[in-house]
Amino acid sequence: MGEPKGLWKKGRGKLGVLDPLLGEWQAEVDSPQSRFRCVRKFSRILGGKYVLLEARWEVPGNPYEEHAVYGIDDSGRVHFWSFTSDGKRSEGQLANVSDIHPEAVGFEAQMPAGLARMAYWPAEDGGMYWVVESKGKKGWNRFVQHHYRRL
């Protein structure tokens, strides 16, 4: 038997790895404090040369937003620049995250607390998963995981 057919079709060019993410996605998430909703919208901007992520965590009493731009940096690598409503910012580059899932698309960033990564991969139900992990002495430590469905 051959390899299983992939769930995501990537597009052309370096930013084509982000094509499966394009559109609007929603997750309903339980946290220790409350249940909340997170909406992520990925769209091509500036003639298709960049992808914009607009994310909003609708946490009761404490909404949180992120805008991130994905593009090609001066070295020719896929890169992101992220800005959040709490005044923080980060940037990082495309990384191999195939240890999470064979079709995962992920990025690594050097954060004040150390190396972190985030990844997206397809869910069998047509949705997608998103995780955030930090690098520790024993490997990657997952501290956020959401399951998104298309809006």
Residue pair 70/50 in contact (Cβ under 8 Å)? The answer is: yes
Number of domain units in the chain: 1
Question: Residue 42 falls within a domain, yes or no?
Answer: yes
Residue 3 has pLDDT above 60, yes or no: no
Average pLDDT (28-37) is 83
62-79 tens-digit pLDDT: 899 999 999 999 999 999
Domain ranges, residue 96:
14-150
Strands 89-95 and 35-45: unpaired
Query: Looking at residue 116, what DSSP letter applies?
Result: E
Share of the chain above pLDDT 70, in %: 97
57-116 tens-digit pLDDT: 998 888 999 999 999 999 999 999 999 999 999 999 999 999 999 999 999 999 988 999
Say which CATH number the domain at 78 has.
2.40.128.20
Question: Residue 62 falls within a domain, yes or no?
Answer: yes
Question: Residue 9 falls within a domain, yes or no?
Answer: no
Question: Residue 3 falls within a domain, yes or no?
Answer: no
Give residue 104's identity as a one-letter amino acid code: A
Highest mean pLDDT range out of 1-5, 6-10, 75-79?
75-79
